[in-house]
A and B are shown apart, each in its own frame.
Chain A
Amino acid sequence: MALTETLEDYLQAIFHEENEKGMARVKDVAKKLAVRASSVVEAVNRLKEAGYVLYEKGDFIRLTEPGQEVAQRTFERNLVVYRFLDQVLGVEPEHARKLTCGIEHHMDRQFFDALSALCFFFERNSDVQEKFRRFADSYEKGMICDMYATLDQFGKGDTLKVIKVSGDAFLRQRLIAMGLTPGQEIVIERVAPLGDPVDVVLRGYHLSLRKEEAKCIKVEKI
């Protein structure tokens, strides 16, 4: 039978108590989950009905084999979700723990496998991880357009479409007045001998821009 989220939490708590102390007592489980002992007894009785634990009044709580299995699985999910939040997304540990408690109950096998793979992938590719973090940072700061590349990232001969012009008011106004409006097609004609500035063609004329300015122009390659 499927367990409710609360029961899963109880199972988890019992699992941890057993692992840490070798046995799980009602008192300790209540303390761990910050609930009354009577609530624990009630939950344990329902877990017993489902066949996940063995329990007699005044005795320890013991996980049955299916109980072990379910608890183990939940624990693994918990770990993977926490790792994802903490290491990949960079969520604060305390907040990550809270979120994990919610998310772990809603995972199926497929999600679990995919998430594990993702965590593993980021662990193996720390440069990608780093890049992603930077991207996420600016994304959070509202610079949604960082999803697009900027003009300075392209080279000679590339034909691009302007998506957006950012930068301070002065710069933006300047660039727009020169015809770099969203949707405008531009071609990178050449790059200066020392790598900066670039020469682009738009609206039938040549315009040179420093990379500093080109960084403010979000583009899409055509």
Chain B
Amino acid sequence: MKSTTQYARSYRDVQTHKLPTVALIGNPNVGKTSVFNALTGSHQKVGNWPGVTVEKKEGRFTYEGQQVAMVDLPGLYSLSPYSLDERIARSFISQEQPGAVVVIVDASNLERNMYLVFELMEMGVNLVVDLNFMDEAKERGIEVNSKELSRFLGVPVVETVAFRRQGIDELKKAIVESLQAPRRPRTFPFPEKMEKFLQQTEKLIEDSCHHDIQTSSCFACGECAAPNHPVIGFPVRWVAIKLLEGDLEVNGNLLSSLPEENREVFAGHLRSLRQAVQAEYQEEPEIVVAEERYAVIHGFVKEFFHSRSTVSRRMKLTDRLDRYFCHRYLGLPIFLLLMWLTFQVTFFLGEFFEESIEGAFEVMGEAVITFFGGVGIPWLGSLLGEGVLGGIGAILVFLPNIFILFLMISILEDSGYLSRGAFVMDRLMHAIGLHGKSFIPMLLGFGCSVPGVMACRTLESERDRKLTLLVVPLMSCSARLPIFLLFTSLFFSRYQGTILFTLYLVGIISAITVAWVLRKTLFKGEVAPLIMELPIYRIPSPKNVLSESWRKSYLFLRKAGTIIFLVVVLVWLFASLPVGVEYASIDSLMGKLGEFFAPLFRPLGFGFWQASVALIFGTVAKEVVVGTLGTLFGGEAGLTEALSAYFTPVSAFSFMVFSLLYIPCVATLAAIKREAGWKWVGFAMVYLTALAYLVSLAVFQIGRLLFG
């Protein structure tokens, strides 16, 4: 567990006092976040599930003196062992044994939602069913008698409209009550034929029991009367269902709990049972089980939810909107237009704040330098003014961009449009091995890689997410533009536009190539399928959108800020030491470092220390490259002359290509760290530098041959 979090302290309280834990689970798009927010308010902390990049949200609430810790599980449609999200949820329920599980159900879309509920009931967990979107359900003519339903299921049922906070107090009450008096949900019989096979499997499990509770190898048989299977932690019936379904995880766990000599016999019996099911139904057992489960649900929904199946206002609206958003010819232009708007709002509105922040920090920095210069300790002034304040400025400058970006993405996601975007773009993105939703991070990458990398969270599959965030830095961000503008205006004044366009193209082609290569090598194997719900459109709740965006931006600042700050200060130190040297001159450590690296860049056409130093500074922020060159070549005036002397058009192009492709700025690396971990930061740095080197080498050597 990561400890540096906003609510670390309160969370530690949660742990030491052993608060009862309640897990929140549900399908995607059922308003789970609103329920979570409504329950816990601002008492939230966000981290990742250990070892993976799936977000884990925790919070707590108090109801009539009883404190409860909530854990938000990933949104999922079923509890199979196949996807990461599902494994996380399942192992949380089995290993952490939460006191209760709240399952959020979209009351307006019952059949599919009840599937998860039934799976949870099979698990025998202490369940609370929350029928959310009751307003929408009523409009669709669905009438629920939740009291009767609760009696029938054997679990409390609460009706809510979470984003209007309706029913939240009732939900809190139900949670606390169910913690005080846990109940086992009713066991639903499968149709007779299936039930016969299930009972045989249950018997098989019970027969393999050693009746030895001390060593906890009792198989929860009737004789030992334990409610749950001691190894698997769930009722024998659930274990039986999973074994019939051929669930590899349960099967493996169970087998390894058996004495070695019994394993083969057990596996043999199980195999013949599965074959018997297959022979009876002419269908794989796992499909039969799911089918029967749906059959039970179908009957159940018909009985308890009296539906006049009216078409609600929102459904009509969804239909009408999709006629345009997913239209054969209009779909793509509308998507591009919306993306363009997102881009514009994020970067141009962001820029306004960005400039004021930059300006403010510059003024402050200068004031500090002047002040300490006045009192005779200029090095402290430089440390504070250029190092520390520069570091803080470098972090804060991203805040407006990131906040607005998260705002835009939250709106797109919560409204339901994001999945439409993926729907229209998937064909293109899938061709290069990415997902329809990968388009958004890549597009944002043209503005700034940091929000681009962060936008990768909207991708559900870990593979897609990592692949996308590794190629986002290749999209030429706006901070690289000053470098391109400086060099193209000097060396390619007649073809400035063409050269600029070529550079962007080099980035895009590299991204496509890298994605393709990675998909064939590191990310080989199954491509995540696209099985995506297109939810009905809803108006996002401003409160949710704002608080989510703020929370995410804040987290970024905290986590990435430390890294950015450290690197900025470190670079300042390198440029200022040993004491007394001119900032970043040849005599400074930085200059020495540049001198050391320079020969490496000779084959690329820019083997002089100033270029190396500029590139090292570029890892702080790409826009710094130009400034550094300016300083090293004696200010704005001297720069033009010096550059013309040092560079040829070919080496200038090579330098631009290198700046485009090499290690992204530290903020991007920090964002990659946050989303995927250090391992991938290392990988990105190595592969990007290698790619930059090779491409620049090719550009320079071929260019030299062609143009002399």
Contact = CB atoms under 8 A, between A and B. Distances in A.
Mutual binders A and B:
yes
B664 interface: no
A208 B532 contact: yes
Given A172-B284, A179-B294, A212-B529, A199 B424 contact: no
B424 A173 contact: no
A213 interface: yes
Given A176-B290, A193-B327, A210 B526 contact: no
B169 interface: no
B605 to A, nearest CB: 41
B533 A207 contact: yes
Contact of A193 (B111, B332, B527, B532): B332
Nearest to A194: B427
A165 B115 contact: no
Interface string B37-62: 00000000000000000000000000
A197 B533 contact: no
A25 interface: no
Nearest to A213: B529
B271 interface: no
Contacts of B588: none
B557 to A, nearest CB: 35
Interface in A186-203: 190-197, 199, 203
Given A196-B426, A197-B423, A197-B426, A210 B291 contact: no
Given A182-B287, A182-B291, A199-B326, A213 B530 contact: yes
B533 A210 contact: no
B426 A170 contact: no
A210 B426 contact: yes
B426 A179 contact: no
A36 interface: no
B329 interface: yes
Contacts of B428: 194
B286 interface: yes
Contacts of B550: none
Contacts of A169: 82, 246, 286
Contact of B427 (A184, A196, A209): A196
Contact of B112 (A171, A174, A205, A208): A205
A194 B322 CA distance: 15
Interface in A146-181: 164-165, 168-179, 181
Contact of A190 (B290, B322, B422): B322
B132 to A, nearest CB: 15
| A contact patch SS | mixed
A32 interface: no
A192 B531 contact: no
A171 B82 CA distance: 9
Contact of A210 (B80, B110, B430): B430
B531 to A, nearest CB: 5
A197 B532 CA distance: 10
A173 B284 CA distance: 11
Interface residues of A, number: 37
A133 interface: no
A36 to B, nearest CB: 51
Given A165-B287, A176-B290, A192 B529 contact: no
A190 B82 contact: no
B109 interface: yes
B283 interface: yes
A206 interface: yes
Contacts of B14: none
Given A192-B424, A193-B329, A164 B283 contact: yes
Contacts of B424: 192-194
A142 interface: no
Contacts of A208: 419, 422-423, 426, 530-534
Contact of B534 (A178, A181, A199): A199
A58 interface: no
Interface in A74-98: none
A22 interface: no
B430 A174 contact: no
A178 B291 CA distance: 11
A171 B529 contact: yes
B77 interface: yes
Contact of B111 (A196, A203, A206): A203
| Most chain B C-beta atoms within 10 Å of own C-beta, residue among A175, A191, A195, A210 | A210
A190 B328 CA distance: 9
Interface string B271-297: 000000000000110110011001000
A173 B78 contact: yes
A174 to B, nearest CB: 5
Interface string B428-440: 1010000000000
B331 interface: yes
Contacts of B532: 207-208
Q: Taking each of A184, A199, A204, which has the highest tally of chain B beta carbons within 10 Å of its own beta carbon?
A: A204
Contacts of A191: 328
B524 to A, nearest CB: 15
Interface string B366-400: 00000000000000000000000000000000000
Contacts of A210: 426, 430, 529-530
B281 to A, nearest CB: 10
A178 B531 contact: yes
B115 A179 contact: yes
A205 B109 contact: yes
A175 B531 contact: yes
B531 A176 contact: no
A164 B281 CA distance: 12
A204 B533 contact: no
B106 to A, nearest CB: 9
Interface in B502-554: 526-527, 529-535
B392 to A, nearest CB: 45
Contact of B291 (A171, A176, A193, A207): A176
Contacts of A209: 529-531
Contact of A197 (B82, B111, B530): B530
Contacts of B77: 174, 177-178
A45 B461 CA distance: 82
Nearest to A210: B530
Contacts of A199: 322, 326, 423, 534
A209 to B, nearest CB: 6
A168 B115 CA distance: 21
B82 to A, nearest CB: 4
Nearest to B529: A213
Nearest to B110: A204
Nearest to B329: A193
Contacts of A178: 77, 112, 531, 533
Contacts of B426: 192, 196-197, 208, 210
A187 B654 CA distance: 55
Interface of B: 77-78, 80, 82-83, 109-112, 115, 246, 283-284, 286-287, 290-291, 294, 322, 326-329, 331-332, 419, 422-424, 426-428, 430, 526-527, 529-535
User: Top 6 nearest A-B pairs by Cβ distance?
Assistant: A177-B78, A194-B427, A206-B534, A176-B290, A193-B331, A203-B111
Given A171-B529, A207-B531, 12 more contacts: A164-B283, A170-B82, A174-B78, A177-B77, A178-B77, A190-B322, A192-B423, A192-B424, A194-B428, A206-B533, A206-B534, A208-B531
27 contacts: A169-B82, A169-B286, A170-B83, A170-B526, A172-B284, A174-B78, A174-B83, A175-B531, A176-B291, A177-B115, A178-B533, A179-B111, A179-B115, A181-B290, A182-B287, A192-B423, A193-B424, A199-B326, A199-B534, A204-B111, A207-B531, A207-B533, A208-B422, A209-B531, A210-B430, A210-B530, A213-B530
Interface of A: 164-165, 168-179, 181-184, 190-197, 199, 203-210, 212-213
